[in-house]
Structure 1
């Protein structure tokens, strides 16, 4: 018999893409999608790949309810890929509702997995946000690095709690192979994250005196890493554990703005905090406190374990992933080429560019090799 995979969070773009890719993979007998809302028509079409594909079943249910255990038992699920841990909720911007969906939903799912005798593999999507963003952070985080300051709220805190429950499940079910994937900021032509909403603003508010280092991972690489995680043989295999996932290299926030053609508006931290609160209240853009810390102090992670264990190097570097994202955005107020020339001229007068950042030459996106 082939693999029967249950995927949570299929009403979002990433979940729909992953479910469609799973159906194309040999050895998959059935893909079962669950979410609190049915996917929108474009995503339903995305879940129907061209050519031969494994059958697909969708169940509309709330993970906070125990109904997911019935679905797992009904279809004889042996692999669960949990993508429903998200910074934003479907149809609701209420923070308490999002937290319940992330944490309580994960607890219910793990309880159902605990009772599933056929379960052999669990993959959980997490975030590098679990490391936090603080002024005295190490230059690079590895999977073993303990953050100096744990996230105090928001999506990053949810992810910390979720990872704690997943570790408890792994101890109770040592027969199940468990993989936790800590993704950097996900970008791509169809990315729908709070950070992509921030980069969509005509003018980018920044914190005066700070130019943080940022990392990105392309959605194509996210789907590929998820697929490789879902098809590991079992517990004890190499790709079991916790892994950072990000494209190689870094970009400064100022470089991101130049590549988008967006002017920046440096503000004192109290002023930009006030702006972020106003933007959330008016639903202009969701700039959470944790995202504001990222846009102040930045964050960079080491991905050596992913390369060594999975044998996979993301096809897109951080600059290439961001370039592909930028190409799909509306034109900025300033032409990127002219803006780059102007800022580079100013930088040359002030001194050499900070080490570790990508050059501002055009980063040409490429598609992953088959």
Structure 2
């Protein structure tokens, strides 16, 4: 039978690299007896001593897994950011929201669960021109999300808070992580920075914060071992502007008007080069900053990498790229120019 010290840990979403790598590292932790990884498809590569169970958290079967394995700590990492990885937006929402609800229902039934850790994201704050310089954990987004990943995350967090109120004997910790970056990370933001020619939004130079992938693993491990309930922003110290980031990348950049970003995103997605979901487009336009005082003073966690250091290591790992992105951007620019010319009537006025 599991003890109350968090020795049997269930990690969701282990088919994806971040969760798989975290579960593998946690399984080697001498303070953890056993790690159980669940997902609908098996993880690729070595997962160390993780016991993988093929299970869909949208199904009531997850309750049987938690009971049978004597799980006392759950680390929820299967809230996904893009519909491409799920197949469609509807499936993505089911996995994120319905999956979380079913997982929490399973935890509600369990007598053994004593700790629940949610890997959330600072995307929940959104990104808009009316944002404060730094979001604290008590602040709400200036423009609440009406769809997409940000809306999913807001709903997931609400369900997790409700679970915490119903089960006050369970320590519920929510880590709102800045965009995770590192040599092994595959995500919309890292795919964007890996482009051969990086598009930026004309007239904007947003402030960015990042969290190194190793610090994500350290923060989650800290939450597993610590009994510190609450919601915490987690990010590397400092900020970096997009222009500074691109200078470190030593990649060509091209500024495009904001109205052209959705078209460019569709072209990049079709070419399987990158995805630019709405949340990322807003982030690359207005940026976002979060206050991490609680992370240090209450959670008791300090990242190893600052934001500039995390980005520098990511940049140093990049290989030279080809010209497919340049051709896509050039084609889009020609199409926009043609549309502008068509819209202009005789004498230079618009029809």
TM-score interval (norm. to shorter): 0.7 to 0.9
Aligned length: 319
1:147 aligned partner: 141
- Rounded Cα–Cα distance in structure 2 between residues aligned with 1:298 and 1:90: 23
**1:330 equivalenced with 2:319 (yes/no):** yes
1:86 positional shift: 1.4
2:90 aligned partner: 96
2:175 aligned partner: 181
- Rounded Cα–Cα distance in structure 1 between residues aligned with 2:20 and 2:36: 11
- Rounded Cα–Cα distance in structure 2 between residues aligned with 1:264 and 1:252: 14
1:61 aligned partner: 55
**1:10 equivalenced with 2:40 (yes/no):** no
- Rounded Cα–Cα distance in structure 1 between residues aligned with 2:133 and 2:232: 18
- Rounded Cα–Cα distance in structure 1 between residues aligned with 2:63 and 2:183: 35
SS in 1 for 2:298: helix
**Larger deviation: 80-89 or 218-227?**
80-89
- Rounded Cα–Cα distance in structure 2 between residues aligned with 1:178 and 1:318: 27
SS in 2 for 1:28: coil
**Larger deviation: 181-190 or 272-281?**
272-281
Question: How has the CA–CA distance of structure 1 residues 275 and 94 changed in structure 2, closer, same or farther, with 3 Å as cutoff?
Answer: same
Question: How has the CA–CA distance of structure 1 residues 278 and 331 changed in structure 2, closer, same or farther, with 3 Å as cutoff?
Answer: closer
1:351 aligned partner: none
**1:292 equivalenced with 2:281 (yes/no):** yes
Structure 1 contact 19–31 (Cα < 8 Å) conserved: yes
The one-character-per-residue Cα deviations of 1:96-133 (angstroms, maximum 9, x if unpaired) are: 11111111110110010010011100000110000000
1:367 aligned partner: none
1:19 aligned partner: 23
1:225 aligned partner: 219
- Rounded Cα–Cα distance in structure 1 between residues aligned with 2:50 and 2:195: 38
Question: Structure 1, unaligned stretches of length 5 or more?
Answer: 49-54, 234-238, 334-370
- Rounded Cα–Cα distance in structure 2 between residues aligned with 1:12 and 1:283: 18
Question: How has the CA–CA distance of structure 1 residues 89 and 77 changed in structure 2, closer, same or farther, with 3 Å as cutoff?
Answer: farther
SS in 2 for 1:108: helix
Question: How has the CA–CA distance of structure 1 residues 276 and 97 changed in structure 2, closer, same or farther, with 3 Å as cutoff?
Answer: same
**Larger deviation: 265-274 or 91-100?**
91-100
1:258 aligned partner: 247
Structure 1 contact 153–290 (Cα < 8 Å) conserved: no
**1:245 equivalenced with 2:234 (yes/no):** yes
1:198 positional shift: 0.7
1:112 aligned partner: 106
1:332 positional shift: 6.1
- Rounded Cα–Cα distance in structure 1 between residues aligned with 2:84 and 2:9: 23
- Rounded Cα–Cα distance in structure 2 between residues aligned with 1:273 and 1:73: 45
- Rounded Cα–Cα distance in structure 2 between residues aligned with 1:297 and 1:305: 24
SS in 1 for 2:53: strand
- Rounded Cα–Cα distance in structure 2 between residues aligned with 1:91 and 1:314: 28
Question: Structure 2, unaligned stretches of length 5 or more?
Answer: 323-351
TM-score with structure 1 setting the length = 0.83
Structure 1 residue runs of 4 or more that deviate by more than 4 Å after TM superposition: none
What's the C-alpha RMSD, in Å, of the aligned pairs?
1.7
Structure 1 contact 261–332 (Cα < 8 Å) conserved: no
- Rounded Cα–Cα distance in structure 2 between residues aligned with 1:58 and 1:173: 27
**Larger deviation: 252-261 or 316-325?**
252-261
- Rounded Cα–Cα distance in structure 2 between residues aligned with 1:322 and 1:27: 31
